[in-house]
Amino acid sequence: MDLLRTFASESSIHGLAHLVRSPHWLGKAFWMVILVFSVVCSVSICNMHWERFQKNATVLNVETNYLSWVFRPPAATVCSQHVSEEILNQLLQRYWNVERNHSDYDYYRRFLLTVNHARFDNLNTFEPFANDTKLASISLLDLARELKYPLVPPWKTFAPVLTEVGYIHTEQDVMTTESSIHYVLRDHDIISSSLSVEQVVASKALKQLSRRRRKCRLPKERLAYFDLYTINLCRINCRIEAALELCKCVPFFYNIGKTSCPPAGLHCLSRNHAGWYESKNCTCQPLCESISFKQVLVKRKVLEQANSKLETQIIYPRMRMKRDVLFDISNLIVSLGGAAGLFLGCSFISFVEIMFFMLEFVTKKIYRWYQRHRELNQDRS
């Protein structure tokens, strides 16, 4: 008790000295109420700043120094459902040994065309083949690739990718139905469009934060089935998990090494379309850095003597958003110190005094116990 009284009278924490020096119980009660009130207020404000540090540490600022900005072009995707009759006949001969005069020719040809046209929204077309055990052992993924062979990209930067909207050629990202801008290019069509750009960038300090604090994701952060993160890949990841849960397989166009659905499995997914494709349990955080394009203008004309062509004009912005850290560790230390100093007069030295007092108290307790134990042993001997 003497040690506690000494600490209170010599501590730099305001009010403790008045508590032990006051001669009357009313004075002690008054200072006790003030101290409790100050501690409650200080803890409340410190907790508020801690919550802000954990949950609202970032801010979106506007940048206008557009002369130094660099933009990537939009991710272009080319889709085609064309398949040659020669390839169809070769596959029919190799897989089922049927020719045009065979009774099953139309059945298997229709099956190949169904695989070629397969998309997320027409899996019900596999219903006529769901009970055919001969088709269950055939790799639909290999069939889909062979139907498009040889894959000739429209340009050297395009890569062939099998997606939920069919076999496509793409440059940068995997296309999903959420992709906002689509064009249907027919024979002799000339389409001219204008796109505006909206960009969000992130500071180096923000990238150092944990994902929970920054509330966005970096491309290098892996998904369960993919090595990088984009919004489209995140949605596909959710659909894969939902398909595995509902029908114990995934559509063949999600080539991830898991069990690929036979025709019966694809029919199962078509009956549960809302459950696997529009999963309510899918939450995809935005990318910390992103570029989005919005269609401003589109014109279409037909020239009988011209080849089909798509012309796109990019309207670059003079303003963009930047994610940055608003409340970092230095702001937290200043805020906590300000709250403790305002209500209790505390400083870093005050907390050192408390730690020293506790250490001294424990040390003396241990020393007294040791002395008592030693004296008892001496008396017994």
Question: If the chain, 381 residues long, is cut into consecutive pieces of 10 residues, what is the mean pLDDT of each piece?
Answer: 62 69 77 85 91 89 88 75 83 89 90 89 90 88 79 63 74 62 81 89 92 91 90 89 91 84 92 84 89 87 82 88 91 88 80 81 84 77 62
Tokens 């008892």 — which residue?
A: 376
Contact 192, 306 (CB under 8 A): no
How many angstroms separate the CA atoms of 295 and 317, rounded? 14
Tokens of 203: 């500071």
pLDDT at 233: 87
How many angstroms separate the CA atoms of 195 and 89, rounded? 43
pLDDT at 63: 92
Indicate the residue type of 85.
Answer: E
Tokens of 3: 């040690």
How many angstroms separate the CA atoms of 136 and 129, rounded? 9
pLDDT at 10: 62
φ, ψ at 178 (rounded to 5°): -75, -10
Alpha helix positions (H), 177-328:
204-207, 211-214, 231-247, 263-271, 273-277
Contact 317, 197 (CB under 8 A): yes
Contact 201, 317 (CB under 8 A): no
pLDDT at 308: 81
Q: Which long-range contacts (CB under 8 A, 24 or more apart) does 245-252 make?
A: 246/272, 246/275, 246/276, 247/272, 247/276, 251/118, 251/120, 251/123, 251/164, 252/118, 252/139, 252/140, 252/141, 252/144, 252/162
234 CB neighbour count, 10 Å cutoff: 20
Cis peptide bond N-terminal to 263, omega within 30: no
Q: Classify the C-alpha dihedral 203-207-208-214 as positive or negative.
A: positive
Strand partners of residue 184: none
pLDDT at 204: 92
φ, ψ at 313 (rounded to 5°): -105, 130
Contact 199, 186 (CB under 8 A): no
Strand partners of residue 79: 168
pLDDT at 79: 74
CA angle 76, 78, 83 (to 5 degrees): 170
How many angstroms separate the CA atoms of 90 and 94, rounded? 6
Strand partners of residue 60: 323
pLDDT at 73: 76
Look at residues 218, 240, 230, 227 and name the one whose alpha carbon lies nearest to residue 173: 230
How many angstroms separate the CA atoms of 238 and 235, rounded? 5
pLDDT at 200: 93
Indicate the residue type of 130.
Answer: A
pLDDT at 47: 92
Contact partners, residue 78, CB within 8 Å, separation at least 6: 154, 158, 168, 169, 170
